[in-house]
Copies of this chain bind each other. A is one copy, B any other.
Amino acid sequence: MTSIKLVKEVMSSPTRCSPVSRVVIFGGTHGNEMSGVTLAKHWLKDPSELHRKTFMAEPCLANPLAVEKCVRYIDRDLNRCFSHEVLSSPESESDPYEVKRARELNQIYGSHLFDFVFDLHNTTSNMGATLLRCSNDDILSMHLANYLQSSSGNQSMPCYNYIIDIPKKDSIYLQNIGKHSLCLEVGPQPQGVIRADALSSMRELVNCGLDFIDLFNQGKEFPSFETDMYRVLSRVDYPRDSTGDISAFVHNGLQDKDYVPLKPGDPIFTTINGEDLLYDGETVVYPTFINEAAYYEKKVAFILTEKVSWKVPALKLEILGDHLGYSK
């Protein structure tokens, strides 16, 4: 019991973070996810929208060759190339294009230089505006996500907190090269298509995120809060026949129902002969990334999450020469 009490005490004192002065916004990490591609291209021509009082965010087209060909990637999924192993292995001319590019991006935008990484993605799934993070250690990005959700009254799309929850040392994602980070997933949007609604939602989210960072840098304190988040439990593959071919498809009743509770016994797949396959889990879960085009090759039909409540401590700026709050 003592340790739990201690945690609560630590949680109740504000977390202090140093100013966020260098911010990068990646678009086109996947070359056919067009909201980020379009925004990054626009901001590279005219970055005025990214200026704030306390900093100026930099746009970057993460995978320019994939953008040019309007494909997800050339040799390998760039957003799976940021493992410690890949980044620290010796360079070779024969490395896949995305491995070379991952090292390059890490050198230019890594946490030794950049404080905050936004990574802009689209999904073909009905995921609304999903605020995706890889851990609950990054208090600043949790406050940023909360700020986006609080401001989402202006947005046309619902806004969800999403957590993959993997140790930073095991991360393979671009966003983790930053000290703080947030990945935005906006959908549904087909690959290769620019939908005006998805574009404006993503743009609003980014601008709102930059506003938050600016307020934080100016010393605004953000109180503690409790929030719901969807935490990844497991990935579910399509049923397959003996040759490995997909033998059943996402059920009509599940299609487009991302974040809608899935109960034991609900249909999840339907075979080509019209047979329904039911969810045989024992608890209510929340399916996400349902029928995402890019996940067929990853053998993922959807990703199950649980809805958890999370208490986030208050946040304030660490003043130069000041220490992290715990010992005060």
Interface, chain A (partner B; CB < 8 A): 38, 41-42, 70, 124, 188, 190-197, 199, 245-246, 249-252, 255, 270, 272, 291-294, 296-297
- For residue A39, give the distance in angstroms from its CB to the closest CB of chain B: 8
Q: Which residue of B lies closest to A43 (CB)?
A: B272
A291–B188 CA distance with the chains assembled, in angstroms: 14
Tell me whether A252 and B190 are in contact (CB under 8 A). Answer: no
A191–B192 CA distance with the chains assembled, in angstroms: 9
When distances are taken between beta carbons in the complex, the residues of chain B under 8 Å from A199 are: 249
Tell me whether A41 and B194 are in contact (CB under 8 A). Answer: no
Q: Which residue of B lies closest to A253 (CB)?
A: B196
When distances are taken between beta carbons in the complex, the residues of chain B under 8 Å from A190 are: 124, 188, 190-191, 293
When distances are taken between beta carbons in the complex, the residues of chain B under 8 Å from A42 are: 272
When distances are taken between beta carbons in the complex, the residues of chain B under 8 Å from A251 are: 196
When distances are taken between beta carbons in the complex, the residues of chain B under 8 Å from A192 are: 124, 191, 293-294, 296
Q: Which residue of B lies closest to A274 (CB)?
A: B200
Q: Given A190-B191, A191-B191, A272-B42, is A196 in contact with B252 using a C-beta cutoff of 8 Å?
A: yes
The one of B270, B272, B291 in contact with A193, judged by C-beta atoms closer than 8 angstroms, is B291
The one of B41, B197, B291 in contact with A195, judged by C-beta atoms closer than 8 angstroms, is B291
Tell me whether B252 and A193 are in contact (CB under 8 A). Answer: no
- For residue A49, give the distance in angstroms from its CB to the closest CB of chain B: 10
- For residue A130, give the distance in angstroms from its CB to the closest CB of chain B: 17
Report 10 cross-chain contacts, Cβ distance below 8 Å, ordered by A residue. Answer: A38-B249, A41-B245, A192-B294, A194-B249, A195-B249, A195-B255, A195-B291, A196-B249, A196-B251, A196-B252
